[in-house]
Chain A
Amino acid sequence: LAKTTQPISMDSYEGQEVNITCSHNNIATNDYITWYQQFPSQGPRFIIQGYKTKVTNEVASLFIPADRKSSTLSLPRVSLSDTAVYYCLVGFSGGYQKVTFGTGTKLQVIP
């Protein structure tokens, strides 16, 4: 399983764009990159997944450089409700694989 490294915490003001970078130097060829969001007292919630280049959905964008050794989750114009822990996961998609969550990045949005 590819190990991921991400900042422990980040602060941002409301309305700003937030970028959270995750390092995954030993990512395998078949591995996808997935980000989850977790609020207190809730289970993690899928945000976005990608393999290369850029993926965008209604919630976030995911930027993956050509070497795929890192990825950046971009949250546009954050609000207080985006305060949560964000997890970067790397693993094979298309079948079962045990995933490792790590400690995640705790994002605090400030009014």
Chain B
Amino acid sequence: GAGVSQSPRYKVAKRGQDVALRCDPISGHVSLFWYQQALGQGPEFLTYFQNEAQLDKSGLPSDRFFAERPEGSVSTLKIQRTQQEDSAVYLCASSSPGAAKETQYFGPGTRLLVL
């Protein structure tokens, strides 16, 4: 594809509701990252996949956050029992590691508002 796409672009959830955010990386990109960006702050790392393997989930803020990439392409970030502090923009990025520089290509993000 032309770039990383994310859906939905905006999501409003009631506190306690479960949400699922989707990321379609650039075709062929092995690496996939999820970030959380609070208003006025830089993106903060959540988790990293290499193909279908989740190699680093150290940034996930609680066990309510869960990410998967079952076939090594599309990824879903799921947040269970959403809380108001989960309100943020969730960014997905993909890259293709190799001998050269590993540049991350970001999607437009999903803006989540928890009421």
A-B contact count (CB 8 A): 66
In the complex, the answer to whether B103 meets A46 with C-beta atoms within 8 Å is yes
Secondary structure of the B side of the interface?
A: loop
Quick check: is B99 within 8 A (CB to CB) of the other chain? yes
In the complex, the answer to whether B101 meets A49 with C-beta atoms within 8 Å is yes
Q: A101's closest neighbor in chain B, by CB? A: B42
Q: B95's closest neighbor in chain A, by CB? A: A96
Quick check: is B50 within 8 A (CB to CB) of the other chain? yes
CB within 8 Å of B: which A58-111 residues: 85, 87, 93-96, 98-104
Given contacts A96-B31, A96-B55, A98-B48, contact A44 B101 (CB under 8 A): no
In the complex, the answer to whether B101 meets A102 with C-beta atoms within 8 Å is no
Q: Residues of B contacting A85 with CB < 8 Å?
A: 42
Complex Cα distance, B92 from A32, in Å, reads 22
In the complex, the answer to whether B108 meets A42 with C-beta atoms within 8 Å is yes
Quick check: is A45 within 8 A (CB to CB) of the other chain? yes
Q: Identify 18 residue pairs between A and B in the complex whose beta-carbon atoms are under 8 Å apart, listed by A's number.
A: A42-B106, A43-B4, A43-B91, A43-B92, A43-B93, A43-B109, A44-B43, A46-B103, A93-B101, A94-B101, A95-B97, A95-B102, A96-B56, A96-B97, A98-B58, A99-B45, A101-B35, A101-B44
Chain B interface residues toward A at CB < 8 A:
4, 31, 35, 40-45, 48, 50, 55-56, 58-59, 91-93, 97-109, 111
Chain A interface residues toward B at CB < 8 A:
32, 34, 41-46, 49, 85, 87, 93-96, 98-104
